[in-house]
Structure 1
């Protein structure tokens, strides 16, 4: 896994911890609010309502934020910033109460420390929220078929697949190494997968066009070559085909392709450059896939 992916994984882990911390905070705030009301018996109705209302609002918002993270609901990050603002307001209230009620200052200062600690952790997680494809949107159920040649782009395809699984329903993503069963006819497997696919990604690396078999013949010229069958079948079915150019590859010309694959040369490609551009290119590809999902017939 590359450095960028490791950083993304850390961001995701931090957000998951933030979700757990938010739900834990909700329970703690409810208990602290009940305790604060007991410490303020003479605050008057208005004071009781301010303390109780603030505690209940903060607890509800924190719990909702935590649940949105755990369920990967869209809008979680925006709710998180609202929760952060509420936490800051509650921290200010704790500080004022510590001054106003010296005999209970220790309890209110303890609450202040907890709120400030959570606020710092939450702000760090919100600022370094996972990017684009896994960020603030729910996973999309879009049938995605990934065609690639293992000798050409295995590592990059692994990164692409991991990223797509975070932004799209993994059960709708076809990658040969996960879906083939020993003994099955790979042509039938490919046919079934393409029938259910809505978009086909053809990953093209520097050697995609010229990878040869043990006899030195170009694999793409073999009508039984798996990659050729995938691309040819996708074009015959009229599937939306997106060439994904990786590791500095360029689009092959129609003359360089076998005749049945020639239409591929005229499809608009999506580059997926190495780091540090990988993440930005990936987000553009994901945005295009989401746009396709949004524009399909209901």
Structure 2
């Protein structure tokens, strides 16, 4: 039976706005989605978006804590929240949450995370840290993979994020498809499982990605890959290269690796894992909302 509303959690990214009304157990009582990512909001009218999308909740349950995660806390968003350096867990992230009141609204903005590798090169994430906190309980050790435009491979130890690495897999695919000769060879978007698996193997086995990519041109050119399979092959090649790189950086790999993302990406990574003997499993979903609830509890905003 649904409980009493305890929190409004907002996952606000570059291209989308998602919000959930949660009770104290984490059950989602209601949800809202809108094509109102931070880049679509004109004149930084973020408060107007909140009122438009969540007005009925705010009127019915005034005073509920609102937690916002994702790119809304970036330099391009509503309030810039500094990155928290790794390693960091629930306590460190919660301590860096920024409370901001404006336009009659009070929101708690969640920070992102940063790390610097041995060569002094920084890496950052914003939004994924809440998803990881939502999927990794306090006793969990292992990896969490968050595929997408900028895929993240995150190592968790005792519920704390100790390291992560970013791979520009999704953005590379979009750029190669839309702006190179590889895209001109593609015919249609139909998924080709055999071509995808072939690409995964090639991407994982060839250490020079720039060389491996050229095979997406030569194979169809020589009649060794149908043009209808080029898109799947290229997708598999990039995902295979990412997995090989991620595994190399991660060290010990657990038997099961949760994948946080939409159903299509989860399915692709599961298929790639079957080719490479990696146990990718789909995370249950709504991790960002559960992560916000965990932070609100840590800060005492939800009992």
TM-score for both structures, normalised by structure 2: 0.28
Q: More helix by proportion, 1 or 2?
A: 1
TM-score for both structures, normalised by structure 1: 0.28
Higher Cα radius of gyration = 1
Q: More strand by proportion, 1 or 2?
A: 2
Using CA pairs below 8 Å that are at least 6 residues apart, which structure has the higher relative contact order? 2
